[in-house]
Chain A
Amino acid sequence: MGVAKLKKAELYYHKSVHEEIAAALQETGVCQIIGDAEGGPAVVEARLSESEAHLADVRYLMRTLTPHFNDPISSLDRTLGERPVVSMSDLSKLAHETDLSSICTKVRGLEHETGEVRLELSQARANQGLLEAFSFLPCPLSAVTEGTRTLAGVAGTVKADQLEAFKTALREFSEDTELILEPSYGAGGASPASKPKAQDIHVVLFFTRSRGPAVLEACVKKGLSVLEIPSAFKGTVSEERTKMTASIATLEEREAALVREMEEVAETWMPAVQKLSDYWNSLAARYTALGRSGETERTQLTRFWVPAKDAEAVQKKIEAVSPNVALFLSDPAEDEEPPTLLENGDYVRPFNILTELYSPPKYRGIDPTPLLAPFFFIFFGMCLGDAGYAIVMLAAIWWLFRKYRRVPLGVRDFIVLFAFSAVSTFVYGIISGSFFGNFIDSFLPFLVPVKNALMLVDPMTNPMQVLGISLLLGVIHLMFGLLIAAYDNFRNGQPVDAIGADISWFLLIVGLCLMGVAMGGMVPPHFQSVGQAMAIIGAVIIFWYAGREKSGIISKIISGFLALYGSTSYLGDILSYSRLLALGFGSAVIGMIINLLGGMAADIPYIGWLIAVVVIAGGHLFSILINLLGAFVHPLRLQYVEFFGKFYTGGGEPFTPLALSEEFVSVKQ
C-alpha cells in the first residue's frame, strides 16, 4: 500500500551481451535507469544515432502522410487497446524489409512536385483573373505585350477617385495616346462617383513609342499602377482565356493525380511506418539507457531502480540471458531521493490518477491516495447525485468493456474510477430521490411511493439539511487532513509542530463545532462545555505556538492574535463544501427543467410525443456531460485545495521505467 519500496540495482555484465541485457530490462518494463547520458561505449553511440536517423525518417513520414491516410483504427480505438499485436522480432524483421529512406525519397519527390504544381496553378489562376479584368480589350494582347514598331501599350489600374486627374494629365499627350477604360467607365458607363473611391479601374493605354518614357512618367505620377501582362500572351483576350482554362484543367488533373498517388503511398506504407515508429522509439530508448552505463575494458555497469517486489523476476530474466552477469540489490541510501511509484490495491488504484494529476509524493512521504479515495467517492456522488445518470454511465462503461477486451491498465483504471463514481452517484440519487431529475414525479406517478420510501434527504424542499451535511463532511475532511499532518509530524520527530500547528487547530475547530451543535439543540447540552474546553485549549496552544520563537512579550502577543485570525481561513474552507449542495441541486434542477420542457412538448398535437422524447433524451444527455465535468472538477478541487492544503505538498519524481513504446502496437512478449 502507498509508495512502493524500491531497490537500487547495480548490474555488471560482459560487453558482448549488452544488447540482450538492455532488451531484457526493457521488456520487464519495471526498471528506471539511473545515470546521466555519458555517451557510453562507442558501439552504443553508433547504434543510437542509427536509430535516431530512422526515427527522423519515421517522423517525417508520419507528419507528411497522416493527412492523406484514412486510418482504419481510430485514435479512440487505439487508446482503448485495439492495436495490432506483434513481437519485437516481427518488428525487427519489418525494419529490415522496409527501406524507409527510399520511401522518404519518394514522398519528398511527391511533396516537391505537388508544391510546384500548386505554385504553377496559383500563377495560372492569377493570370486568369488578369485576363478576365482586361476582357474589354478589343485588340490582340500582343499590342500591349509587344507593341508595333511605332506603338506601345501598357496595362494597369487607376483608383476611381484619381481617374479625373489622370485623364487631365493625359490631355497634354492627346496627340500621342489612346486610353481604353473598362466598360463601366468608358463611353456611356456609370460616372466614377457612383463607385467606391478606392475601387481599382482597369485601363489600357497605347502611346507612340517615341514618347513612351514621358507619357509613362506622367501617368505613374498621376496614379497609374502598371500591371505586368505576361509576354506569352499574344492572341485576343478570349483566345488566351481559353488556353489558360485548358492549362488550369491540366494542372488540376496533375494535382489530383499527385494527391491520389500520395494517398496510395500512405495506404501502402502507413501501417508499417506506424509499427516502425514504435520499434525505433523502443530501440532509441534502449540505446539511450545503455549510453548511461559505465564501462571497463570488458564489462559494463548499468544502475537502475526496481520495485522490490519485481526484483526477483528481473534477476531471473537477466540470468536467463547470460551467465556472465552480477546483480547487486541495495536499499536506497538516506541521502538518495528515489522516484515514486504508487502501489495500491484494486479498489484504491483507480484513484492513483488523482494523486498523480496533482504531484506524486516524495519517496519517503505519505501516499494520500487511500486517504482521499473515500471522500472523492462520496463528493462525486453528491455533486452528480442522480440515479438515472448513474445508470447511463454504468451502461456506457459496461458497453465499453464489452467492446474493447484489451484496454491498457492506465486507461482501464481511469474508466473504473468513473464506474466507482457512478456507483456513489446511484446511491446518492436514490437517497435524495433523483432519477433523471424528477422523472418519476412527472411521468411515472405509480413509482412515487417507492421513491419516497427510499428517500433520506430532500434537497428540493429542505436544502438546509443537505447544506448541513455538506458542511459537516467538510469539517470531517479538513480535520482528517489535520490529523494526517499531525501524524506526519510525529513520524518525522517533530511533536511540537504536530501539537502546535495541527492538533491545536483540530481542538479549536471541533470544539467550536460542538458548541454550535449543542447550542442548536442537536446534541445534549453538556457537550457545550466539552466543546468550550476543547476550543479554549486549542486557542491557547495556537497562541503560544505562534509566539514561541518571538522575543518580547508584545511581539509574542501580536503573532498569537495573528495566528488566531487565521481561523477565518478555516471558515472559508468549510463554507467551500457548500458546493456539494449547489452542484447536486444544480443537476437536479436542470433535470427537472428538461422534464418540464418535455412535458410541455408532449402537449403539441400529433408529433408532440416525438418532440418530447427528443427533448428529454437529448436534454438529459447534455445534462450528464455538463454535470459530469462539474462533478469531477469540484470534488477534485476540494481534495487539492482544502484537503491537501493541510498536509500534502507532493514534489516526488514519478517512476518512469525503461519500457517498450506501444503507441501503435501491443508488443507480445
Chain B
Amino acid sequence: MDLLGLSLALFGAALAAALSGIGSAIGIGIAGGSAAGVMTEDPNKFGSCLILQALPGTQGIYGLLITFFVLNKLGLLGGAGAVALNWNQGLQIFASCMPIAIVGWISAIYQGKTSAASIQMISKKPEAMGKAIILPAMVETYAVLALLTSILMLMGVQVG
C-alpha cells in the first residue's frame, strides 16, 4: 500500500488543474461569444473585450499553480525523486487541492457569465470600462480565497 498516498496526492493535483481549467475554458468561452458579437458591430472594441474575456482565465492558472505546488512538494519536479508518503498524508494533500478545484471550476463559469454581461455593457457604454471590470472581479474574490485556502492547507501538510 506504500503508493496509495502518492496516488491520492496526484489525484488531487490533477483535479486542481483539470477542474479549474475546465471552468476557465467554459467561462472564457461564454465571454468570448459575447465579445465576438460586440466586435461584429464595432471591431475597435477588441482591446477592452479581450481584457474582459481574459478575466475568467485566472482560475485555470490558480489550479495550475496548486498542481505545481503539490508536484514540487512531492519531489516530482527536478529529478530528486518522490518523497515517501503514507495514505493519510496523501489524503491530506488531496483535501488541500479541493478548494481551488471546486471553487475554481464553478466560479470561473459564473465569472464568464458576468464578463459576458460586462462586454454587452461596454458595447453600449464604452466609458463604463472601470465598472465593467469590477463586476467580474467580484466573482473572482472567491477563487482567490479558495487559492489562499489551498496554499495554506498545503503548507500545513507535513511530508517526507
Contacts and interface: CB of A to CB of B under 8 A. Distances in A.
A273 interface: no
Chain B: interface residue count, which band?
A: 20 to 34
Contact of B137 (A593, A600, A637): A637
A640 B131 CA distance: 10
Given A581-B148, A582-B147, A586-B147, A596 B78 contact: yes
A123 B148 CA distance: 63
Interface in B31-69: 44, 51, 54-55, 57-58, 61-62, 64-65, 68-69
Contact of A578 (B44, B133, B134, B145): B145
| Most B CB within 10 A of own CB, among A354, A589, A596, A626 | A589
B144 interface: yes
Interface residues of A, number: 31
Contacts of A586: 61-62, 65, 147
A575 B146 CA distance: 12
A585 B151 contact: yes
Given A357-B129, A358-B130, A589-B65, A600 B77 contact: yes
B3 interface: no
Interface in B88-106: none
A629 interface: yes
A395 interface: no
Contacts of B78: 596, 599-600
Given A593-B65, A596-B72, A599-B78, A582 B129 contact: no
Contacts of A629: 51, 54-55
B156 to A, nearest CB: 10
B155 interface: yes
A582 B130 contact: no
B82 interface: no
A626 B61 contact: yes
A589 B69 contact: yes
Interface string B135-147: 0011011001101
A629 B62 CA distance: 14
A356 B62 CA distance: 31
Contacts of B144: 578-579, 582-583, 634
Contacts of B129: 357
A535 B54 CA distance: 44
A633 B133 contact: yes
Contacts of B151: 463, 582, 585
B83 interface: no
B64 to A, nearest CB: 8
Interface in A187-219: none
B84 interface: no
B157 interface: no
Contact of A582 (B77, B131, B148): B148
Nearest to B54: A629
B159 interface: no
A344 interface: no
B51 A593 contact: no
A131 interface: no
B126 to A, nearest CB: 12
B155 A463 contact: yes
Nearest to B44: A75
A458 B20 CA distance: 28
Interface string A464-504: 00010000000000000000000000000000000000000
Nearest to B67: A593
A357 B62 CA distance: 28
A626 B24 CA distance: 14
Contacts of A582: 144-145, 147-148, 151
A589 B71 CA distance: 13
Nearest to A639: B134
Contact of B134 (A75, A581, A636): A636
B67 to A, nearest CB: 9
A409 interface: no
Given A463-B151, A582-B145, A634-B137, 9 more contacts: A75-B44, A582-B148, A585-B151, A586-B65, A593-B68, A629-B51, A630-B58, A634-B140, A636-B137
Interface of B: 44, 51, 54-55, 57-58, 61-62, 64-65, 68-69, 72, 77-78, 129-131, 133-134, 137-138, 140-141, 144-145, 147-148, 151-152, 155
